[in-house]
Structure 1
Amino acid sequence: MTDDMVGYFKSFFETPSALGLGLAIVFGAVWLACYWPPLFKKPWLWAVLVSSAFLTLAAVCFIQYPLQVWAGQALNHFWSQEVLMRWILLAAIPQMLLTGLVQEGSKLVPVVVYWWRSGRSLDPKLGLVIGAVAGAGFAIFEAQGILSEWTLELVQTYGFVALLAFWERFFTVAAHIAFSALAGYGLAKGWGWQFYLMTSFLHGLLNYSVVFRAAGLFTDIHTEIYIAVLAVLATAWALWLRWRKTASATEPAISPP
């Protein structure tokens, strides 16, 4: 198990490509720009972005991975593979929920650190912006790992279907940023665990698209539309919270605690 976890961690660094990294950065920049974080005026936000990427990657490899393996082993202990496939819409729920709980929790760590050092008092819009930056960190890192595997040979072999990876990653990056932004907002509003559970559920719901596809309910096109719609709805909610007028029209000061 340990070797598998370490190997999984290393796999994110084994085949980087300029194209994959470049596209991931562009995707992240496009969506993060909608939140207008002061990354250049407040350079400490870059530390949030980078730390979130590595914390979440470590959590995926050393927490999420073994938990999902053990959950799968537990299910296989009680039911055959044939039964599990017949009931896949239910059987896959634990693993999908684990994905959301682990990833949204780890992305939220830098936001919690800032909130804690600020005396557990944070302007909601500031919490949302920091959350968006934290979400972008892992979103970009994850996207480059997947997009770096794309080649022209895949297009020649699979045609249009091979191009769906771009669509999926573009909107998955948006979802990562929006979920973390909402979690950061909830933390600042005093609804930390409620928003954490909600965004974890939304994350699991996003990943549940693969279950619909495995069950034969979705085609590849349906899956990509599902991901895009959920990502856009979450982003719209987060951006509404970011830009809506409040009693105080001035932006909160964003400075290190």
Structure 2
Amino acid sequence: MYVDGGSVPVHHPAQHRAPSRLTGPLQLRPSWATTLRILRQLAGDHRSVAMILAVPSLVITLMYFMFSGAVHPPGTPSPFNNACLILLGLFPWFLMFVITSITMQRERSSGTLERILTTPLGRGQLLAAYGVAFSIAAAAQATLACVIAFWLLGFDTAGSPAWVFVIAIVNAVLGVGLGLLCSAFARTEFQAVQFIPLVMVPQLLLAGIIVPRAAMPEWLQWISNAMPASYALEALQQVGMNPELTAVAVRDILIVLAFAAVALGLAAVTLRRRTP
């Protein structure tokens, strides 16, 4: 404000208002609230709960009866052991990818994502909330599947069952990261599902499930080496064959975690408020 002979500064309170972003421990509150909301939403979707909890255990049980009469050379793992190891480790990765990508697309198309991003919750916090929520769901899935496989169906590994559980959770986090990333490029839930044959199936084919990676042409081995599923399966195989955790298994777990971190980072960069 100006008067004759000089000026008198007038400081408006609005000019010195504190930033709206939360700092310190308060940053965790909106992220945790979002995590709880996602978990409540999952709990209310009975089909998703059935997919997460019941389907892996049912498939493993079906595989048990399929291989119950299969003959295998003495001293070698039964066909059920090989199949069960793959299912326990890779099912969370595949299933979390599908559920996460569809759920995020639904959040965007319904406008829920746009409303969330108008709150103090940042993009990184939002994706962390999704990662925690779906990792909790994956932990419940892996716990039930491991209990049924190890204690009811006679599944056995040379290594500790705890490491199978850990690898399953790490793979689930990878599936969440890839699902969040791919959902940014889908306009509908149907398009989100179409990323399954594009992203997931090639990894399953080149991971060494059907044909050992060493038996593939060299150019396919190079592609396989660039895919996280190859390291996830190799870590499982190391636990299945060795009583102690090997350096190769540790390396593979760290590589899968690195892939998951990169996927979550790219998902935060490409996150859109809503589908155009």
TM-score by length of 2: 0.47
TM-score by length of 1: 0.49
The structure whose residues are more often helix, as a share, is 1
Structure showing greater radius of gyration is: 2
